[in-house]
């Protein structure tokens, strides 16, 4: 059967917090039995937003990763819950029963993603429900998706086979695949948060101009086909999606009428090589 899935494009998230505010507006002081009890005013972020800065001045970028409950198919929280206090619906949504889960504070630590919150007043673990109460009334998307002004979030009901095709065509990834929990939240452009880049600028020293169209080739220690690109009209280049702490990379710069330059970069984190003069 079809199941609900959330796709988040990190390249479109601007950290406006509309998703967080919409969630707070929906759940603060509102009970939606049997799916959830009211969210407290402060402390909880059922839609949290992580932030990550890469590079060095002047080539710096910041990316944002909205982080709700992952609604995992093999959720650790379900295994840790007593008395079936957490269960997974047939449509893929994971629910914390607000009655059965009372007092089970250990469930907060059962989630490696850190998306279960403890309500001290209600003595209750709580989290994102994908606005299940609205979906059951015929809504096509939760409040966070509805409130996103950039279209960074897409909510869809699909067969697992259809998701496999979409994952491949859209190059979707999951956050922390090493957890092995089979989440139903997917990310596009995740490399901006989880990987690094090598960037720089090429200039012609004798004429004091940017080297537009210089051919820059990057190769790591493996035998795979190297990445090749051209500098833009500012002489800038950038190789993104590289693994952190991936060791030595070899950079070759070619420009008509100038000697070829070669550099070695020991890649730890994102790096700006500054201006390279030919």
26-30, 157-161, 171-175, 217-221: segment of lowest average pLDDT: 217-221
Q: 243 pLDDT exceeds 80?
A: yes
Report how many domains make up the chain.
2
249, 231: one domain:
yes
Tokens coding 50: 């992580």
Q: What does the pLDDT average to over 46-66? A: 95
CA-CA distance, 142 to 135, in Å (whole number)?
7
Per-residue pLDDT at 42:
94
163, 235: one domain:
no
Q: What does the pLDDT average to over 89-108? A: 97
Q: 95-120: b or e for each residue (b if 16 or more CB lie within 10 Å)?
A: bbbbebbeebeebbebbebebbbbbe
Q: pLDDT for 105-147, tens place per residue? A: 999 999 999 999 999 999 999 999 999 999 999 999 999 999 9
CATH no. for residue 19? 3.30.70.20
Q: Which residues does 183 contact at the CB level (< 8 Å), separation at least 6? A: 70, 71, 72, 73, 174, 175
Q: Which domain holds residue 232?
A: 196-277
Q: 223 pLDDT exceeds 70?
A: no
Using pLDDT thresholds of 50, 70 and 90, give the confidence band for residue 226. confident
Per-residue pLDDT at 212:
96
- Nearest Cα residue to 242 out of 262, 215, 256, 224: 224
Using pLDDT thresholds of 50, 70 and 90, give the confidence band for residue 156. very high
Using pLDDT thresholds of 50, 70 and 90, give the confidence band for residue 178. very high
Q: SS3 for 270?
A: coil
256, 187: one domain:
no
**End of a domain among 145, 173, 193?**
193
Q: How far is CA 151 from CA 45, 57, 128, 133, 258, in A?
A: 21, 29, 20, 23, 45
203, 125: one domain:
no
166, 201: one domain:
no
Highest mean pLDDT: which of 107-121, 209-223, 224-238? 107-121
Q: 217 pLDDT exceeds 70?
A: yes
Q: What does the pLDDT average to over 255-276? A: 95
- Nearest Cα residue to 69 out of 5, 136, 13, 9: 5
Q: pLDDT for 64-91, tens place per residue? A: 999 999 999 999 999 999 999 999 999 9
**End of a domain among 132, 159, 193?**
193
């Amino acid at each position: 059967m079809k199941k609900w899935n959330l796709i988040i494009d990190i390249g479109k998230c601007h950290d406006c917090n509309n998703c967080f505010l919409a969630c707070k507006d929906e759940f603060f002081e509102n009970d939606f039995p049997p799916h959830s009890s009211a969210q407290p005013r402060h402390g909880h972020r059922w839609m949290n937003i992580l932030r990550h800065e890469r590079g060095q001045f002047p080539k710096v970028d910041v990316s944002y990763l909205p982080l709700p409950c992952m609604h995992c198919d093999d959720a650790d929280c379900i295994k840790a819950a007593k008395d079936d206090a957490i269960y997974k619906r047939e449509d893929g949504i994971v629910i914390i029963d607000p009655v059965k889960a009372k007092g089970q504070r250990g469930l907060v630590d059962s989630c490696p993603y850190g998306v279960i919150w403890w309500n001290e007043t209600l003595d209750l673990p709580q989290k994102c429900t994908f606005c299940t109460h609205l979906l059951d009334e015929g809504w096509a998307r939760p409040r966070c998706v509805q409130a996103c002004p950039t279209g960074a979030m897409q909510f869809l009901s699909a067969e697992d086979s259809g998701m496999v095709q979409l994952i491949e065509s859209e190059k979707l990834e999951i956050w922390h695949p090493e957890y092995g929990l089979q989440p139903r939240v997917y990310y596009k452009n995740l490399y901006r948060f989880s990987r690094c880049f090598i960037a720089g600028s090429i200039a012609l020293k004798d004429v004091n101009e940017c080297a537009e169209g210089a051919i820059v080739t990057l190769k790591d220690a493996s035998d795979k086909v190297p990445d090749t690109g051209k500098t833009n009209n500012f002489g800038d280049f950038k190789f993104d999606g590289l693994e952190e702490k991936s060791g030595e990379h070899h950079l070759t710069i070619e420009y008509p009428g100038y000697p070829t330059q070669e550099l070695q970069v020991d890649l730890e984190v994102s790096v700006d090589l500054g201006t390279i003069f030919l």
